Amino acid sequence: MAVATSFSQFSCNPVWVTEPRSQFNPKPALFLANSIRFAAFSTAATAERAKISVGSRRIIRVRAVSEDERGPERDAGDAVAVAEEERPTEVDLLKKQLVDSFYGTDRGLRATSETRAEIVELITKLEAMNPTPAPTDALTLLNGKWILAYTSFVGLYPLLSRAPPLVKVEEISQTIDSENFTVQNSVMLSGPLATTSISTNAKFEVQSPKRVQIKFEEGIISTPKLTDSIVLPENVEFLGQKIDLTPLKGIITSVQDTASSVAKTISSQPPLKFSISNSNAESWLLTTYLDKELRISRGDAGSVFVLLKDGCFLLTP
């Protein structure tokens, strides 16, 4: 940011501007807009001040324009304050509300009936504003890795609620390759000893502007990545009771060297693959909202899936 090194005169004429109300700021905010006059500059320089908020997509830039940029209609020595502002749209606000409503629900598993009702209402509003009415005609938007943020699909609840002790579901994702018409669903699991993932590979076929048919072909259990530094929590809850793991820490410390050797051996093995050929290996998916950051899909039995594009700002806590 270039700044004029000296000036001889500075005066401010205050003008109050009231910013419109938004859901994040219930009270109107007042800003002091200054009319800035510089009588002399030691050098011909341009000052620029920028404030950027990515999450809300609000951008404000104020800059002092040089004499060459002002044109003949401006008095000599005057600086022009230029303000540019892009406010979040209604869709942006709804998306932020929807993602915020997922907090503490464990992808929908622990959502209360009240929270579910709020989520359904926000999903319905977004679907009515869908910027991509024919998602299967916009495969470039579908392409890439999507992280599951919320689902009402009860088939996933046993995975989320009945994981073995010390095992955590780190991530559930869906990766779409629109060029080869393939889909990979993946669940990443982690524990104190290793991390691994279980995936299914499938082909999809476009059946309508919103609907695709999915046929699963192969399952993959990736090679566990063992750690040579084992860290155990103080205790773990199992079947409603807390189990003290402190006595195990001395044993774990004595086998660190062995664990390191085993980790290197197992990690070098190829993943385990198995074919999927039963009659229940097909499903369909209806995409009801799609943009570059968020996707809402509906599947069998009316289940809903809300997914966020990997790397988008909505994934930031």
CA angle 297, 196, 237 (to 5 degrees): 90
Q: Residue 243: count other Cβ atoms within 10 Å of its Cβ.
A: 11
How far, in Å, CA of 108 to CA of 249, rounded?
Answer: 34
What integer best gives the mean pLDDT of the chain? 74
Residues 115 and 211 in one domain: yes
Same domain, 218 and 99: yes
CATH code of 268's domain: 2.40.128.280
* 224-to-125, 136, 195 alpha-carbon distances in Å: 42, 35, 6
CB-neighbour burial class of residue 126 (10 A; exposed 0-12, middle 13-18, buried 19+): buried
Query: Does 147 reside within a domain?
Result: yes
Closest CA to 15 of 66, 63, 83: 83
The answer as to whether 218 is a domain residue is yes
Q: Does the residue 235 lie in any domain?
A: no
pLDDT at 118 over 90: yes
- The pLDDT value recorded for residue 93 is 95
| 97: CB partners within 8 A, 6+ apart | 23, 122
What is the CA 57 to chain-centroid distance, rounded?
A: 15
Instruction: Please tell me whether residues 286 and 137 are part of one structural domain.
Output: yes
Helices of type H across 245-317 = 248-254, 256-267
Give the pLDDT mean for 110-130.
Answer: 96
* Residue range of the domain that includes 58: 12-86
Among candidate residues 86, 109, 137, the one where a domain is terminated: 86
Number of domains within the chain: 2
Ranked by mean pLDDT, which of 85-89, 102-106, 152-156 comes out on top? 102-106
Q: Over 60: is that where the pLDDT of 154 sits?
A: yes
Residues 65, 155 share a domain: no
Residue 134 shares a structural domain with residue 203: yes
pLDDT at 50 over 90: no
> Tens of pLDDT along 271-291?
888 888 776 678 899 999 999
Residue 56 has pLDDT above 90, yes or no: no
Phi/psi of residue 257, nearest 5 degrees: -65, -40
Band (221; pLDDT cuts 50, 70, 90): confident
Give the pLDDT of residue 4.
40
User: Is 60 exceeded by the pLDDT of residue 12?
Assistant: no
pLDDT band (50, 70, 90) for residue 27: very low
CA gap 21, 186 in Å, rounded: 42
* Residues facing 221 on adjacent strands: 198, 272
pTM of the model: 0.63
* CB < 8 Å & 24+ apart, contacts of 104-109: 105/150, 106/160, 107/148, 107/149, 107/150, 107/151, 107/156, 107/160, 107/172, 108/150, 108/151, 108/152, 109/156, 109/157, 109/160, 109/161
pLDDT score, position 270? 80
Q: Is residue 77 part of a domain?
A: yes
Q: Is the pLDDT of residue 225 over 50?
A: yes
Question: Is residue 204 domain-shared with residue 151, that is, in the same domain?
Answer: yes
C-alpha 299: how far from its chain's center? 21
